[in-house]
Amino acid sequence: MEKNDMVLISVDDHISEPPDMFKNHLSGADLESAPQFVVDENGTSAWEYQGMFLPSVGLNAVVGRPLEEYGMEPTSLEQLRKGVWDVDARIDDMNVNGIAASLNFGSAVGFDGGRFHKAPDKKAAATHLRAYNDWHIDEWCGAHPGRFIPCAILPTWDMDATVAEIHRVAKKGAKAVSVTENPTVLGLPSIHNEYWEPFWKAITETDMTICCHIGAGNPAPHASVETPIEAWITTMPMSIATGAADWLQLKALHDYPSLRIALSEGGIGWVPYFMERADYSNWRHKAWTNTIFQDIKPSEIFKKHFLNCFIDDKFGLQNIEYIGEDNIAYECDYPHSDTLWPEVPEYLWDSIKHLTDGQIDKITHGNAMKWFNFDMFAHHAKEDLTVGALRAQAEKDGVDISLKSSGGARPVEEGTSRPITSGDLMKMFKQHAQKGKEAA
């Protein structure tokens, strides 16, 4: 196999939702009360919903910008690559990057729909959440069948409504649901509470995959506001280990053998030690902890139920025998700051070319298709979805990949020599959020 022969599925990308997201799925008072996209006189944009204000973009939409301009800019759609919010342009950007298919998480609504969970009017929030799912499945994913893996969000504050929505979106073609890995941060019972029993049952009945995305529940820790921002960014993927350890202890994994969880944007290099440590902890402590792991090792359950997703992880790919070649999937993270667009094939090939063709196929697309019950070859011939074929199509379509500069916004004054800190970025985000509130 050569680089251009790879077929790539990204199981973690993102959307900056377009301003007209709800217009085809709501009307009257429901449309008027839905999240609103607002822009001030300076072009700064934000989403407003039930008294909450969320800047529409920032580090989550810097793809195609010069690296030195990363920060809390851009602040308007005009500063973005069109593929960030326009589905047809997204296909162009996928083609030029050799990406055959993609699973997309929302931004304004939260990776896990957290924006709706925090809304005071839960009845309205449930209506708007369902409308988001309709837009995501019907318009975004439906615009190009076989190129997107539909992933829904759920009103988990109401379990009856959650179960109903799982069955509804499954019938519409959703393959996954995104939920917080720690519902207690939303004021809900923990995943170990019987409250969630109907959820596990419904997920199993519909054969869905659960996505737990970093940052949707347990925040990535940073030591202090003076911690250099690179330290914080370094630990972000590995922060998912806290949730993974919690989910690994789920009784539901033993009660529902087909339950599947994708650890989105968590990386894979830490996984071998994680499993080793889980087994060691079980061996040394199961005599007194009343653990559910008496006759089976935690690592065995982990390999059976968890999909590990990586952006760039050479160490992990050198050690897949300790992770499981059936438990690894690629992710691009477009349009976030970690994305390697439009050079994913070059970086990935350099990290993966030592593996067998069969292993490469599994990690680049086969595992994603299996874990998400997603058959893109029912819509497209495999030879049309290779890196080489997609890039040839992008060249034919004249897709522009030149860097787009909009000036940027530095978290500290120009000329400051000290490292940018976590506190700097948090302060800048608050200022940006205030501008969004003023725009609304």
Confidence tier at 55 by pLDDT (50, 70, 90): confident
Mean pLDDT of 319-346: 97
Q: Which residues pair with 39 in a beta bridge?
A: 45
What's the whole-model pTM score? 0.95
Mean pLDDT of 112-127: 97
Residue 326 and residue 377: Cα distance in Å, rounded? 20
DSSP code of residue 228: B
Q: What angle do CA 88, 165, 94 make, to 5 degrees?
A: 20
Q: Is the model's pLDDT at 436 over the cut of 60?
A: no
Coil, strand or helix at 223: coil
Mean pLDDT of 266-273: 97
Confidence tier at 428 by pLDDT (50, 70, 90): confident
Confidence tier at 348 by pLDDT (50, 70, 90): very high
- Using one digit for the tens of pLDDT, what is the confidence trace for 159-191? 999 999 999 999 999 999 999 999 999 999 999
Q: Is the model's pLDDT at 392 over the cut of 70?
A: yes
**Closest to 429 in 3D by CA, of 405, 399, 404, 409:** 409
Residue 73 and residue 79: Cα distance in Å, rounded? 8
DSSP code of residue 364: I
Burial-class residue 383 by CB neighbours within 10 Å (0-12, 13-18, 19+). exposed
- Give me the residue label for tokens 């009660």: 255
What are 165's two structure tokens?
A: 């929505």
Q: How is the beta sheet containing 99-105 ordered, strand by strand?
A: 8-14, 99-105, 148-149
How many Cβ atoms from other residues are within 10 Å of residue 324's Cβ? 21
What are 84's two structure tokens?
A: 């960030």
Residue 266 and residue 340: Cα distance in Å, rounded? 16
What CATH architecture does domain 3-439 belong to?
A: Alpha-Beta Barrel (3.20)
What are 278's two structure tokens?
A: 């889980």
Cis-peptide, bond into residue 183, ω within 30° of zero: no
- What's the chain's average pLDDT? 93
Q: Is the model's pLDDT at 74 over the cut of 60?
A: no
Q: Which residues pair with 213 in a beta bridge?
A: 264
- Using one digit for the tens of pLDDT, what is the confidence trace for 349-366? 999 999 999 999 999 999
Q: Is the model's pLDDT at 21 over the cut of 80?
A: yes
Q: Is the model's pLDDT at 80 over the cut of 70?
A: yes
Query: What percent of the chain clears pLDDT 90, i.e. is strictly above it?
Result: 80
Where do the domains of the chain lie? 3-439
- Using one digit for the tens of pLDDT, what is the confidence trace for 210-251? 999 998 989 888 889 999 989 989 989 999 999 999 999 999
Residue 424 and residue 419: Cα distance in Å, rounded? 10
Residue 220 and residue 214: Cα distance in Å, rounded? 8
> HEC profile for 133-159?
HHHHHHHHHCCCCCCEECEEECCCCCH
